[in-house]
Every structure is written in structure tokens, then in C-alpha cells.
């Protein structure tokens, strides 16, 4: 399965997409779409987001464009249980490829599906990404510590666990919010472990909260 | 209910005060060549005898659901809520579904597609005039260009998607257009099947004729929504690409191919329907053929037989003339071309056509077969036993029979003809299995100069 993160051709949006290979089953949805593009996404983040979103399907291997640290390649492969490939692999000492200075990354990014705007701004060291259904809205509202972005994440969340979908979106947008962690809806023990391990490879700690 | 008992397709029809047209529309659904379906009829608050019409159709696949008169979107959502099929086929209460529509569209149903659609033919319910709408390959290009959406009654969509998106109950027109745009923006995968799905009745009572200002206002808003985020240059480029990107519809003879399914008040049929069914006989499993006079059938009978697999290749259809001319034509009806062919010719053509389309079934593992056709009264018991029949016509002694005999060598096929069939009035044809090269090699090695093989 080839994971690609790019402008969606002819769709005015950004997409995390897959191209299946022989012997693999097509996922229910081939693309996770956003009407607003994150400012910078590394190959590692793309691979982690792809593993989160499509890793529970019938993958045989996961391939991404770009350069990834060898440790990330090994760690993702270990979590998802099948080979990971990128255009080139960097040795561990160059692991900062595509990542921002960790000193600046201090916020916890809360990612959720929704249709409501919050009256209050996010609390101290907190940031917020709310994904509105793109079947009803186009575009995004971009604030200082928060953003509302139209996406088809809601539809993905009917096929795979919503926490996986939101984690994938959070990983892709993490740099925009200088996030060091993600706050996600709670999920069963095994899934929580997989999501946490994958997010950690992208430099993000995870907190799970029950949705009230 | 057990999963295995669930229908694969739910055909959903929303209706309101169309009792006069409903029976025909339902009949066209229930006589599809694909049978594993349910027909969910949502009655959106009819005040005529719609319920009686639906309940008069004795078929366990029909489900009547009483709606609340809340409009077309709500009725369609109610239909989705009552559907049990994996796929939902949309159908309208005034349209005629063509017999192989579902069978043909289902060939495209795999894990790479969520939404299958196709072409349709408008027919004027007063004049019989036809217009083909074959539709474009769907994507942002066609949507941006004109607000195009696949023809509603051609949809075959995963039922769970209809339930997730639902028709917008806040609008009453362009609801199909609205739904496809929302699905398009969500990454739903569309596929033009190339199938001509239905005859869409154009008459004065159509919903799309009643929308008035509301229709234009909603369509305009739908189009504005799908255009958001695209620059004028992008819209222009995508529109130009879409202009040439038509669905792959087989348009060969479309004007005549489906004319027979237009209601009786508009067309007159003649010629024969060729029906087949399998029967057990002392000779084995026989495929029994029947030729039935199409001019003696009404629309319901004709559709029912076609839905059961009858071939209409030998039927001719013409649009009716004005009543005064039509009455003059009675009695001087031109002899259809088909009547000039005798049964032997028809049967030979059918058998050869069937062999051509199903070669593996007929040849089995044998490199040669002989096709033998002749009047049944001329078959001796020995000949009948030799010719393990695959085709027969009728049961009467004067009717025609056809048999297929398998051979492992050309010589054996030729010899049997010489011994048993040569002296009789049979058409005896030897056919060889395989590609042209293989057959030529085999025949050149086996054919003995001077033997009387009629055809290989």
C-alpha cells in the first residue's frame, strides 16, 4: 500500500491517500481529505498517519515518498507487523528530518469531530483541531491556537475507530500547533497501545479522554 | 433474519398519488433478470389507491412502507431505514427499469467502488419520442461544469452510505444532485457502468416539472457549494476535460434495442420471443426452446418473459401511428422479416449463437462437437440416444430438435455423420474448439482429403 500526502488532484483539497497493491483489499475510503493543508508534514508523519488510518486493514507493506530515519522505519514496522519502505532511509543521528525543534513543541493538541464552535479559546498549553464534515461545509476557520477544518474524517470514523482517524489527522497537523502531544477520545486497551506507540514515533505523546 | 436470507439489493421507490403508473413501474423491477432483491415502496402520504395497488402485487419481495407526507427526501430516507440490501437501487414510480439493469450493474460492484450509475432513455409518454442521456464519468469536472450529477434512477449505491449521508430533508428539489455533491466531497468512489438502466417517462406530472423556482434555487446553491475552493482557471480546465469524458455506453442500435419495453399505447410489437428452460428427460438435461408470438403479448407479459431470460432478438417493434392510420394498418400489417425464416433456420441461428457465446460449456473437454438439427419426427431412437440433446424445441412430434454430440477426433465426427445422419434430412455441422491457430493445426493433421465434413 502506497501512502501519499499531497494536494488532491482536481479536488481543491489536501489528501492522505492510498494506492493498493496486488493482493491487498481496498479500504472503504481511499483518501482522508482536508480543505486546509497543514504547513509541513514529514515522511515519518505521513507514514504514521497512514499506519493509523489504514493499518488495521489487509496491508502487506507500507510505502511512503520521502526520507525517513531508520529508527522510524523499524519502529512503525514493528507496531503494524509488516514492512515499511521510504525513498531513502536516514541514519539515527539525522532523525530531525522534517521535524521542528523539540524545544518549541509544547502544546497538547485536542482533535475531535464536531459541528460546534467553542466559546472559549483552548486552555494553557492546549490547542484544538475540530474537523467539520466536508459534506456540509467547505474550508476552514484558522485561529491562533485552534482551527476548524472541513474533512471527510467523519466518514472514516464510521469504518475505523474514531481515535485512529483523529490521531492520523492530529499527526498531520501537529507541526502547525507546535504540539508535543495529542488528546484523543478514549479507546480500548489494545488500540490505545497501538495508537500511542505510533504517535510516539512521530514525536507525540497521547492522552485519551472519555467523551462526555 | 439470517444473513444468507437478506437480499443483495434493495430497490427503493418513493411514491405519492401515482397509482396509475405504479404497477408498471413495480412490474419492471420485480421482473429483473437478477432476482435477489427486495422492492421497498415508500408511500409518502398518498390519497389515491396506491396502497391497494402495491398490495395487489403478490410477491414476497415487495415491502410497503407508509410514510408521512414529509416530502421526497424524507421518503427516500425512510426507504433507506427499511432497506436490508447491501446495495440500494434507486427507482422512480413512473419509470420502467430495463430487465438486465441490476444484473449488468452488479458486475461493477467490488471493493473499489461505492456508487455505480449509468445511462437512461427519456421517452415521451404522449409521442414515444426517445432521447438517450448517457452521462459523464463522474468527478469534480462534470460537477463544476454544469452541476451534473448521475441520473437518480440509475444509482446503485451502498446502502450504508445512503444511511450515513441521508437525503437533505430541508430541500425538496435537486435532492439527488445535493447528495452526490456531498458524497463527492467526501471521497465516495463513483463508477459509470455504461449500462442503459431505464426508460424515464416524460409526462406532465413529473416532480422535476413541479419544482418551479425552488428547483433552480437549490440547484444553484448546490453548484456554488461544489465550486468553493476552485479558481476560475481550475474550473475552466476541469470543465474542458469533462466535456469529452463520456461514460462508455454501448449506443449500438439503442433506439430500437429498448423500444419493446415502452408501454403498449405507444408501440406495437411483432415477431417472436425466444425462451429457454431446462428440463430433465430420459436423454439427460435438455434446454427446451419456445418461440412465442410477441404480437399476442401485452406489455406486462412481454416484460415478464424478458425478465425470465427470453431473447428479444427476433422481435420487431414500431411506434404506433395516429389512431386513424393505425386502424388502416390493421389487416395489412407488413409481414415481419422474422416470419420469413423457418423454425429450422431460427433454431440453427440460435444454437450457433449460443455455442459462440458459451463455447466452453458446450465443448466440455472434447476438441470437436457435432451440432445436429432436424424435425423431431425424423429422429430415430438411435439418433436421439446418440445426440445427447442440449437443445430441443417444444414437445410436439413435428417440432424441431437440436443435439450436440461430443467427439475426440474429427474422423469420428465425420464417420458418425456418414453412418447415421447423412441419409436423413438433418443439418449436421462439425465444430472445433480452440483458437484459430490450434484448430487449423489440428484440422490439417486430421482432415483426410475427400471426407465430407460440412463445416469445421
ipTM reported for the complex, 2 dp: 0.87
Q: Give the up-direction half-sphere exposure of residue B296: CA atoms within 13 A in the CB hemisphere.
A: 5
- The pairing of strands B391-393 and B400-407 is antiparallel
Q: Is B141–A10 a contact, with Cβ atoms under 8 angstroms apart?
A: yes
A137: closest chain B residue by CA: B225
pLDDT averaged over consecutive 10-residue blocks of chain B (456 residues)? 77 96 97 97 95 96 94 96 98 96 97 96 91 93 92 97 96 92 95 96 69 69 92 92 88 87 93 83 76 90 94 87 73 55 77 77 83 83 79 70 86 88 84 81 64 45
Residues A145, A114 within the same domain: yes
Looking at residue A95, what is its pLDDT?
45
Angle between helices A43-54 and A189-201 (to 10 degrees): 170
What string of H, E and C letters represents the secondary structure of B203-266?
A: CCCCHHHHCCHHHHHHHHHHHHHHHCCCCHHHHHHHHHHHHCCECCCCCCCHHHHCHHHCCCCC
Domain assignment present for residue B144? The answer is yes
Q: Is A26–B165 a contact, with Cβ atoms under 8 angstroms apart?
A: no
pTM: 0.83
Structural domain count, chain B: 3
With contact defined as beta carbons under 8 Å apart, do A109 and A177 qualify? Answer: yes
- Select from B183, B127, B123 the least CA-distant residue to B150: B183
Residues A56, A149 within the same domain: no
Residues B233, B308 within the same domain: no
Domain extent, residue A25, equals 2-94
Residues A7, A85 within the same domain: yes
**Size of chain B, expressed as the number of residues it contains:** 456
The Cα–Cα gap between A122 and A176 comes to: 15
Q: Among residues B257, B272, B290, which one ends one of the domains?
A: B257
Q: Is B187–A152 a contact, with Cβ atoms under 8 angstroms apart?
A: yes
- Select from A152, A164, A176, A177 the least CA-distant residue to A34: A152
pLDDT in tens, A16-74: 999 888 888 889 888 999 999 998 899 999 999 999 999 887 778 899 998 999 999 99
- The pairing of strands A107-113 and A84-90 is unpaired
Q: Is B228–A31 a contact, with Cβ atoms under 8 angstroms apart?
A: no
A135: closest chain B residue by CA: B182
B158: closest chain A residue by CA: A28
Q: Which chain A residues contact residue B228 at CB under 8 A? A: 12, 138-139
Determine the distance in angstroms separating the CA of B120 from the nearest CA of chain A, rounded to an integer. 27
Q: Among residues B228, B257, B286, which one ends one of the domains?
A: B257
**DSSP-derived 3-state class of residue B104:** helix
Residues B298, B242 within the same domain: no
Q: Among residues B192, B227, B257, which one ends one of the domains?
A: B257
Q: Is B187–A35 a contact, with Cβ atoms under 8 angstroms apart?
A: no
Looking at residue B453, what is its pLDDT?
42
Q: Among residues A60, A94, A128, which one ends one of the domains?
A: A94
CATH number of the CATH domain containing B200:
3.90.550.10
Q: Is A138–B186 a contact, with Cβ atoms under 8 angstroms apart?
A: no
Alpha carbon distances (Å) from B375 to A123, B32, B288, B304, B345: 93, 34, 14, 30, 12
Domain extent, residue B333, equals 264-340
Q: Among residues A94, A125, A148, which one ends one of the domains?
A: A94
Q: Considering only CB atoms, which residues of chain A are within 8 Å of chain B?
A: 10-13, 15, 25-26, 29-33, 35, 133-136, 138-139, 152, 155, 158
Burial B118-152 (b: 16+ CB within 10 A, else e): bbbbbbebeebebeeebbbbbbbbbbbbebbbbbb
A36: closest chain B residue by CA: B229
Domain assignment present for residue A175? The answer is yes
With contact defined as beta carbons under 8 Å apart, do B264 and B298 qualify? Answer: yes
Residues A119, A44 within the same domain: no
From the number of C-beta atoms within 10 Å of its C-beta (0-12, 13-18, 19+), residue A181 rates as buried
**DSSP-derived 3-state class of residue B124:** strand
Residues A117, A205 within the same domain: yes
Q: Is A136–B182 a contact, with Cβ atoms under 8 angstroms apart?
A: yes
Residues A202, A119 within the same domain: yes
How many helices (H) and strands (E) are present in chain B, helices listed first?
18, 16
Q: How confident is the model at residue A212 (pLDDT cuts 50, 70, 90)?
A: low
**Closest Cβ–Cβ partner in A10, A139, A152 for B186:** A152
Q: Which chain B residues contact residue A16 at CB under 8 A? A: none
Which region among A83-92, A180-189, B132-141, B172-181 has the lowest average model confidence (pLDDT)?
A83-92
Q: Considering only CB atoms, which residues of chain B are within 8 Å of chain A?
A: 111-112, 139-141, 160, 164-165, 182-183, 185-189, 225, 228-230, 234, 238
Domain assignment present for residue A155? The answer is yes
Residues B214, B115 within the same domain: yes
Q: Is B111–A26 a contact, with Cβ atoms under 8 angstroms apart?
A: yes
Alpha carbon distances (Å) from A96 to A79, A203, B182, B375: 21, 10, 40, 87
Name the strand (E) or helix (H) holding B79: helix B72-82
With contact defined as beta carbons under 8 Å apart, do B272 and B294 qualify? Answer: yes
Determine the distance in angstroms separating the CA of A11 from the nearest CA of chain B, rounded to an integer. 7
A8: closest chain B residue by CA: B187
Determine the distance in angstroms separating the CA of A154 from the nearest CA of chain B, rounded to an integer. 9
Neighbours of B61 (CB within 10 A): 16
Amino acid at each position: 500500500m502506497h501512502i501519499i500526502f499531497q494536494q488532491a488532484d482536481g479536488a481543491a483539497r489536501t489528501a492522505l491517500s492510498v494506492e493498493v497493491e496486488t493482493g491487498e483489499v481496498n479500504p472503504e475510503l481511499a483518501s482522508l481529505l482536508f480543505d486546509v493543508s497543514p504547513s509541513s508534514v514529514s515522511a515519518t508523519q505521513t507514514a504514521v498517519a497512514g499506519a493509523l488510518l489504514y493499518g488495521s486493514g489487509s496491508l502487506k507493506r507500507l510505502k511512503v515518498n520521502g526520507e525517513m530515519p531508520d529508527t522510524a522505519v523499524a519502529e512503525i514496522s514493528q507496531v503494524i507487523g509488516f514492512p515499511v519502505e521510504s525513498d531513502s532511509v536516514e541514519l539515527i543521528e539525522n532523525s530531525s528530518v522534517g521535524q521542528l525543534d523539540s524545544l518549541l513543541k509544547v502544546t497538547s493538541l485536542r482533535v475531535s469531530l464536531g459541528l460546534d464552535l467553542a466559546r472559549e479559546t483552548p486552555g494553557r498549553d492546549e490547542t484544538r483541531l475540530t474537523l467539520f464534515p466536508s459534506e456540509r461545509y467547505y474550508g476552514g476557520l484558522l485561529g491562533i491556537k485552534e482551527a476548524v477544518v472541513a474533512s471527510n474524517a467523519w466518514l472514516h470514523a464510521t469504518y475505523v475507530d474514531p481515535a485512529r482517524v483523529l490521531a492520523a489527522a492530529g499527526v498531520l497537523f501537529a507541526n502547525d500547533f507546535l504540539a508535543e502531544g495529542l488528546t484523543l477520545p478514549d479507546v480500548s486497551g489494545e488500540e490505545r497501545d497501538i495508537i500511542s506507540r505510533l504517535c510516539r514515533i512521530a514525536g507525540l505523546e497521547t492522552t485519551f479522554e472519555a467523551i462526555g | 433474519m439470517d444473513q444468507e436470507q437478506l437480499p443483495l439489493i434493495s430497490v427503493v421507490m418513493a411514491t405519492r398519488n401515482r397509482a396509475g403508473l405504479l404497477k408498471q413501474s413495480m412490474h419492471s423491477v420485480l421482473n429483473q433478470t437478477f432476482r435477489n432483491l427486495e422492492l421497498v415502496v415508500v408511500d409518502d402520504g398518498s390519497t389515491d389507491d396506491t396502497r391497494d395497488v402495491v398490495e395487489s402485487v403478490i410477491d414476497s419481495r415487495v415491502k410497503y412502507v407508509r410514510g408521512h407526507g414529509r416530502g421526497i427526501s424524507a421518503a427516500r430516507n425512510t426507504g433507506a431505514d427499511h432497506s436490508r440490501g447491501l446495495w440500494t437501487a434507486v427507482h422512480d414510480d413512473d419509470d420502467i427499469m430495463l430487465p438486465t439493469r441490476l444484473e449488468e450493474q452488479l458486475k461493477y460492484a467490488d471493493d473499489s467502488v461505492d456508487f455505480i450509475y449509468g445511462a437512461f432513455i427519456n421517452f415521451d409518454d404522449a409521442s414515444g419520442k426517445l432521447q438517450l442521456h448517457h452521462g459523464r464519468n463522474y468527478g469534480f469536472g462534470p460537477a463544476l461544469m454544469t452541476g451534473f450529477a448521475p441520473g437518480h434512477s440509475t444509482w446503485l449505491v451502498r446502502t450504508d452510505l445512503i444511511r450515513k449521508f441521508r437525503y437533505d430533508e430541508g430541500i425538496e428539489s435537486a435532492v439527488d444532485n445535493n447528495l452526490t455533491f456531498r458524497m463527492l466531497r467526501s471521497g465516495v468512489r463513483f463508477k459509470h457502468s455504461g449500462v442503459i438502466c431505464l426508460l424515464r417517462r416524460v409526462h406532465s406530472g413529473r416532480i422535476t416539472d413541479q419544482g418551479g423556482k425552488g428547483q433552480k434555487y437549490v440547484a444553484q446553491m448546490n453548484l456554488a457549494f461544489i465550486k468553493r475552493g476552485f479558481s476560475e482557471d481550475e474550473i475552466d480546465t476541469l470543465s474542458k476535460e469533462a466535456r469529452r469524458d463520456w461514460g462508455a455506453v454501448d449506443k449500438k442500435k439503442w433506439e430500437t434495442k429498448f423500444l419493446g419495453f415502452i408501454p403498449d399505447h405507444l408501440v406495437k410489437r411483432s415477431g417472436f420471443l425466444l425462451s429457454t428452460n431446462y428440463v430433465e428427460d430420459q436423454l439427460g438435461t435438455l434446454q427446451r426452446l419456445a418461440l412465442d408470438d410477441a404480437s399476442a403479448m401485452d406489455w406486462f407479459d412481454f416484460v415478464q418473459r424478458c425478465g425470465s431470460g427470453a431473447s428479444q432478438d427476433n422481435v420487431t417493434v414500431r411506434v404506433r401511428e395516429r389512431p386513424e392510420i393505425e386502424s388502416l394498418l390493421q389487416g395489412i400489417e407488413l409481414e415481419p422479416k422474422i416470419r420469413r425464416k423457418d423454425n429450422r433456420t431460427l433454431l440453427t441461428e440460435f444454437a450457433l449463437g449460443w455455442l459462440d457465446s458459451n463455447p466452453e460449456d458446450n465443448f466440455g473437454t472434447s476438441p470437436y462437437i457435432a451440432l445436429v438439427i432436424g424435425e423431431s419426427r425424423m429422429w430415430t431412437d438411435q439418433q436421439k440416444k446418440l445426440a445427447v440433446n442440449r437443445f430441443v424445441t417444444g414437445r410436439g412430434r413435428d417440432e424441431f430438435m437440436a443435439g450436440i454430440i461430443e467427439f475426440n477426433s474429427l474422423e469420428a465426427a465425420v464417420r458418425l455423420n456418414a453412418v447415421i445422419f447423412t441419409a436423413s434430412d438433418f443439418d449436421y455441422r462439425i465444430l472445433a474448439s480452440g483458437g484459430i491457430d490450434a484448430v487449423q493445426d489440428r484440422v490439417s493433421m486430421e482432415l483426410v482429403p475427400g471426407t465430407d465434413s460440412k463445416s469445421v
